Amino acid sequence: MRRVEGRPTTGSRAVAVLLLATSFLVAVADPAEAKRRGHARKAVSGYNPPYAAMVVDVKSGRTLHAVNEDALRHPASITKVMTLYMLFEQLEKGRYDLDSPLSISANAAAQAPSKLGLRPGSTVTVEEAIKALVTKSANDVACAIGENIAGSEPRFAEMMTRKAKSLGMSRTHYANASGLPDPDQITTAHDLTLLARAIQDRFPRYYRYFQTRSFAFRGRTIGNHNRLLGNVEGVDGIKTGYTRDSGFNLMTAAKLGDRQIVAIVLGGKSGASRDRIMADLVRANLPRAFAGSRQTAPVVEVAERGRPAVVAEADSRTRTVLATADDEDIETTSSTSNAPLDIRPATTTPGSRRTTLQALPGAAQAYAGSAGQAPFPGTAGKSTARLPAVEGVASRAEGPPKDARGDSAKPVTPSPWVIQLGAMDDEDKAKSILADARSRTGMLSKAAPYTVRVTHGGTTLFRARFSGFAEQSTAQDACAALKKNGFNCFATRS
């Protein structure tokens, strides 16, 4: 029988069909093979998230690099920078301290990874929550922060969005506290540079948590996802992020000598490529940053509406709002009277370099740091131990400047713009910080100090403020002068 070369016989065709069917069944039944084939399809599809980047010189405000900086992007876990901004604000107000417990709801515990895996009904401290977001980027903890502050995560997201608008982040909208995928969670590289600067300007003491390389949590050591820390000179934070829709994101701050920048990379194709891009941007642009004194005002929150005066008769009631507060924070309080404010500080031992400012609570010290770098909150003891007393302040035993006493002849009327230094748990402490600020800053020689009593969550605080600023720019200039002398403050409408 003659055989035709290359032409299959009926029997061989049957065998081939049987082998093909067997191979198909094996591939379907083998999860590893199915997974491999799935990855192959993804590779062929050429997943390529949209890219955007921006680098800003902190001192001059100059844009050093920009690509698609105003295009809408998903922030992913960079969202948690705003979540922490909101939590730092609560620490500053005195609602929480670093040891305060945050409860974990069933909703928070059910969040998708990355997370700590906390059980419903359990708690974490505020400090553990901060470190969990900075290092692990824990979604369950981010949700819990929002729920504890606002009562629900959606309400917290609304607060975050309003906060973003007050910072000038006009194209940013938040839908959750974690950055988990949501089509309404959007921002831009430009907006994120504002947030990167604002969180450093407003919370220099707490910002340093972003330098945490790892932390021990209940028998585990959790490392930071930010691979640039310790590997790129000058980098001191701040946050990574990733979802499939966003690509690999990174917000970075870098400081070397007298130069300082913030940088954003969004839509990296991989963590490694994103890190390489950011490292190149830092190395190329940090040497170009301005090395002189800061020329731009700090990024501060701007009130969206005018507010009534906060000084009235002692028996009157007035609504007051912090420049940093959201609508939920509006409180009806008894204001201080319009009687002249005596801001003479308490007497100290001649020659002493520690004054009554050392007794300031954590909420106040967040505004009134030392003239040097703010000390990093430690890991042992109570929050008051983590926030050391202000040092390096000259003795004021001889009393306040003459012009401070001269204010006692007339009442204080808030100007269109005022500046606030802090909210203390005792009015004498508020007066003391006002006196110290005025004695060390010539721009406040004609400003009028006053305090505002507020009650929040059963806690009474006294806001330390200066009046005498007709324009926002002059108020911000005074704040800048205070910051150079070791104080923190912000400008707001009266």
Active site members: 77, 80, 137
- Taking the C-alpha atoms of 66, 68, 70 and 74 in order, what is their torsion angle to the nearest 10 degrees? -120
* CA atoms within a 13 Å half-sphere pointing along the CA-CB vector of 365: 24
Q: Answer for the pair 124, 132: CB distance below 8 angstroms, yes or no.
A: yes
The count of other CB atoms within 10 Å of the CB of residue 299 is: 21
Q: Which of 80, 81, 134, 143 has the alpha carbon at shortest distance from 111?
A: 143
Secondary structure E strands in 345-407: none
Rounded CA separation 489/470 (Å): 17
Q: Which of 188, 344, 211, 191 has the alpha carbon at shortest distance from 266?
A: 188
Both tokens of residue 51? 């890219």
Q: Answer for the pair 134, 156: CB distance below 8 angstroms, yes or no.
A: no
61: phi > 0 → left, psi -120 to 50 → alpha, else beta; which? left
194 Cβ neighbours under 8 A, 6+ residues apart: 167, 168, 169, 299
In order of 202, 216, 403, 487, the CA distances from 469 in angstroms are 21, 48, 17, 18
Kindly tell me the burial class for residue 107, based on how many C-beta atoms sit within 10 Å of its own C-beta (0-12, 13-18, 19 or more).
middle
Query: Can you spell out the DSSP letters for 35-57?
Result: HHHHHHHHHHHT--PPPEEEEEE
In order of 138, 336, 355, the CA distances from 451 in angstroms are 39, 6, 20
Q: Which of 413, 359, 415, 418 has the alpha carbon at shortest distance from 390?
A: 359
239 labelled binding-site residue:
yes
Q: How far is CA 126 from the centre of its chain?
A: 14
276 Cβ neighbours under 8 A, 6+ residues apart: none
Q: Which residues are annotated as a binding site for substrate?
A: 239
Q: Which residues are annotated as a binding site?
A: 239
